[in-house]
Amino acid sequence: MSAAVPSTEATQDTENLTDGFHLLIDALKLNGVETIYNVPGIPITDLGRYAQAQGLRVLSFRHEQHAGYAAAAAGFLTKKPGICMTVSAPGFLNGLTALAHATTNCWPMILISGSSEREIVDLQRGDYEEMDQLAIARPHCKAAYRILHAEDIGLGVARAIRAALTGRPGGVYLDIPGQLLGQVMDAVEGQKSLIEVVDPNPESVPSDEAIERALDVLKSAKKPLMIIGKGAAYAQADDKVRELVETLGIPYLPMSMAKGLLPDTHPLCASAARSLVLKESDCVFLVGARLNWLLSHGQGKAWGEKGAKKFVQIDIEPTEMDSNQKISAPLIGDIGSTATALLEAMGSNWQKPSEEWTGAVRSKVQGNIEKMAPRLRNNNSPMDYQGSLGVLKEIIAENPDTVLVNEGANALDQARSIIDIHKPRKRLDVGTWGIMGIGMGSAIAAAVETGNQVLAIEGDSAFGFCGMEVETICRYNLPVCIVIMNNNGIYRGDGTNWSGGEDPSTTVFVKGSRYDLMMQAFGGEGVTVDSPDDLRQAVNKAFETRKPTLINAVIAEDAGKESGNIGNLNPSSVVAQARYPQAKKI
């Protein structure tokens, strides 16, 4: 490597020189980066300008957290690291939540943050926004690196990309001290220092013995169930996963962001019979899904008799096995290669489960769908969740390329169970952490990375975490239609102050809030509706025009319930309930 040329040598022909700004941009472009999500400010303001001048799309947000959520969602949608760029200290900390979110969800993302110089930080001399960002980032991501010299920029970017993509994907932090960007070196030597990452995530196939063991377990099952997770959607091995499901003939449950990998209307989809299949199955085949809290750790009453099930699991990460249940047949490998190996080993004479099992599942699915249907067709005013989401279900069916973004409590839980998704990677939501505030960042990424119409269904509380980014949506004129389920509060809008005081309840918002006027303030379309028929008309208009639109959907205050479907996680005590009888009524 050549030594950096001192920037004071102004007599040199600048055409023969390059600097840290351009080396970082060139390193990203060399590795296929096309978009950067950022909040500009010292010391990375000019980096964004130069990147834009060099042909990268640079989208500036109002808050780093949402730029980070956009980068995380971009990683999920593209299988390439989403890039988020922030300023130092507070900006870095804002982006750190999104970085941890990406790592928890196993999505590739790189957070690039400007920082103070080491000699100042290490002696705690009180620099502008002084912080040891590298040390803070390390516990919350797969890897963290700092680049100190211009000739190492190519190496640092390459290591970050490989770390984000290799094995189980995740978030990576890249620390850029401000002075690095202004370092100057010979342009030819600078180009030589750049690295194009080759095969960062090679295929990984389980052994023949592992494949045979898994098939033996599946063969012995009388009531098998497949659970498909967002890891399978991320893998983009859509045809192989579908072939595996249909060849095995096993009923399957898609986790929320795996919905659409096969259409939710597929005859083997058991979403509407979730309770039945979790309880009655004797073998569970996990495909890119983890037995974490979202599946009650594979334990408890919902899973039936303790120890009655065997588990088969595909995962790229060996340590995921046996995390909550004994995995009888672990398959360590990427989903596409593992599915291919299973299909080849199965041959053409695979014995599918009995009609007694699959028929019982189909019957339960059909019965529950028919039972719910009338509730989805109501035209109540103000609306309930069933009537409003019934309309949106039909609109998504008519526009299956639409990307659905969804967050909230009741708005999330109800939409997840009611709205069918018909194509892969057309649903983005709160992910493994159940984190609120992902809505606008994910919606922006979905519109930018796919070019498709986006429908964001937001609880009014969830929207409050990220609502200012509607200005970003309007500024870039993105085809995003936001529907806010407005019931005037968190969970419900009819809470009372248990003290009897004048302050509103902790879960109640301003009554009759006009979120639609907020969108109009930035030049977008905004409208308030209070019936399913009016909601249908407003969403269809937004889809036709592809204009940034916010629909303030008035929901009855008492339509929701505490914490959506996870009220059991809300701690309580006998003493508290005795002192506050209201708690028993929630």
Q: What is the pLDDT of residue 130?
A: 83
Query: In the structure encoding, which two tokens stand for residue 113, read together?
Result: 């943050």
d(CA 69, CA 31): 21
Task: Give the pairing of strands 17-19 and 184-186.
Answer: antiparallel
d(CA 47, CA 110): 16
E-strand stretches of 87-214 = 109-115, 143-146, 171-177, 184-186
Q: Is 239 exposed, middle or buried (0-12, 13-18, 19+ CB in 10 A)?
A: exposed
For 46-98, what is each residue's pLDDT tens digit?
Answer: 999 999 999 999 999 999 999 999 999 999 999 999 999 999 999 999 999 99
* Mean pLDDT score across all residues of the chain: 94
- Res. 2 pLDDT band, cuts 50 70 90: very low
Regarding predicted confidence, which is higher, 3 or 349? 349
Share of the chain above pLDDT 70, in %: 96
End-to-end CA distance of the chain: 66
Instruction: Show the domains of the chain with their CATH numbers.
Output: 14-192 (3.40.50.970), 208-363 (3.40.50.1220), 377-579 (3.40.50.970)
Alpha helices in 166-237 (DSSP H): 178-182, 187-192, 208-220, 230-235
Q: What is the pLDDT of residue 348?
A: 86
Residue 3 DSSP one-character state: P
For 121-168, what is each residue's pLDDT tens digit?
Answer: 888 888 888 899 999 999 999 999 999 999 999 999 999 999 999 999
Share of the chain above pLDDT 90, in %: 87
Contact 447, 428 (CB under 8 A): no
User: Is the confidence at residue 574, as pLDDT, over 90?
Assistant: no
User: Is the confidence at residue 564, as pLDDT, over 70?
Assistant: no
Task: Give the pairing of strands 525-529 and 480-486.
Answer: unpaired
- Res. 11 pLDDT band, cuts 50 70 90: very low
d(CA 157, CA 23): 10
User: Is the confidence at residue 320, as pLDDT, over 60?
Assistant: yes
Secondary structure (DSSP) of 487-536: -SBSS-S----TT--SSPPTTB--TT--HHHHHHHTT-EEEEE-SHHHHH
Q: For residue 408, which phi and psi values (nearest 5 degrees)? A: 140, -160
Secondary structure (DSSP) of 303-371: G-STT--EEEEEES-GGGTTSSS--SEEEES-HHHHHHHHHHHHTT---PPPHHHHHHHHHHHHHHHHH
Q: What is the pLDDT of residue 1?
A: 40
User: Is the confidence at residue 9, as pLDDT, over 60?
Assistant: no
pTM beyond 0.85: the answer is: yes
Q: What is the pLDDT of residue 586?
A: 58
Q: For residue 59, which phi and psi values (nearest 5 degrees)? A: -105, 120
For 184-204, what is each residue's pLDDT tens digit?
Answer: 999 999 999 999 999 999 999
Q: What is the pLDDT of residue 555?
A: 97
Q: Is 349 exposed, middle or buried (0-12, 13-18, 19+ CB in 10 A)?
A: exposed
User: Is the confidence at residue 403, as pLDDT, over 80?
Assistant: yes
Q: What is the pLDDT of residue 303?
A: 94
